[in-house]
Amino acid sequence: MPTLRPLRDYDEHDVINLFSWSGAVPAYKGTMVKIASPSGFVASDDEPVEMFGAVGNAYANTVSQRYRTSAQVTTCTSGSGANKDVPLGMLLYDVREDDENGEKLIFNPRKAAENDYVISGQAVPVLTRGIVLYSGATLAADTVNPGDTVYAAAAGELAKDADHVAKAPAVGKALGVKDANNHILLKIEL
């Protein structure tokens, strides 16, 4: 499971806030994402949002709909040839429905904001360029040296092994070696 640590340095102009999450929830910050639909964001759409489903329980003769943006992102995976995924960027916040107690975050937006959670259906911040302290199982298994290129790997993680060089696009560079907790300082450049 990829994750980001609090050490981050980026410009808000390098964060895209136009896409909602399409996939299993929860999704974790640090996950590499790609555009989910073939058309992506279309500025001329008559309606840039769509109905997403009921907020909670559905009762007869009641309406409790919520909306999400039509343009969506999903987990980026590695691939080869024509099946190669092109990463858009990295999630900056977790995407969640419930908190640690099983309570719906849609009814407690302050708690979601305090914990850097995005409620599914809302636009997720996607980092395209910046410096982050990253931790992920795939990259933790690799030997990373300063200046090494990192690539998109399976399950939205990053990797540096030779197998990914021919398969996936480069995502950025390592700015140091792994620390004792397998965290690596990365420069994301998409």
Please give the backbone phi and psi of residue 155, each rounded to the nearest 5 degrees, phi first: 60, 30
Residue 48, H or E segment: none
Residue 168, both tokens: 């996936």
User: Would you give the end-to-end CA distance of the chain in angstroms?
Assistant: 21
Domain count, the chain: 1
* Whole-angstrom distance, CA of residue 3 vs CA of residue 28: 6
Range scoring the smallest mean pLDDT among 51-65, 78-92, 118-132, 163-177: 51-65
pLDDT of residue 139: 81
Residue 162, both tokens: 């030779």
Question: For 104, which DSSP code?
Answer: B
Does the residue 101 lie in any domain? yes
Does the residue 86 lie in any domain? yes
Does the residue 59 lie in any domain? no
Instruction: Answer yes or no: is pLDDT of 15 > 90.
Output: yes
For the stretch 113-163, pLDDT in tens is 999 999 988 899 999 999 999 998 888 788 888 999 998 888 888 888 655
Does the residue 179 lie in any domain? yes
Does the residue 58 lie in any domain? no
Residue 171, both tokens: 């995502």
* Whole-angstrom distance, CA of residue 99 vs CA of residue 115: 10
pLDDT of residue 167: 60
* Whole-angstrom distance, CA of residue 77 vs CA of residue 159: 11
Does the residue 147 lie in any domain? yes
Instruction: Answer yes or no: is pLDDT of 111 > 90.
Output: yes
Q: What is the mean pLDDT of residues 170-189?
A: 92
- Residue 120: which of 32, 54, 34, 30 has the closest Cα? 54
Q: Which domain holds residue 144?
A: 3-53+64-189
Q: What is the mean pLDDT of residues 17-26?
A: 90
Does the residue 141 lie in any domain? yes
Instruction: Answer yes or no: is pLDDT of 100 > 60.
Output: yes
Q: Which residues contact 4 (CB under 8 A, 6 or more apart)?
A: 29, 30, 90, 92, 132, 133, 134, 135
Mean per-residue pLDDT of the chain? 84
* 3-state class (DSSP) for residue 159: strand
SS3 content of the chain, % helix, strand, coil (to 5): 15, 40, 45
For the stretch 31-59, pLDDT in tens is 999 998 777 777 766 666 666 766 767 77
Does the residue 113 lie in any domain? yes
pLDDT of residue 151: 87
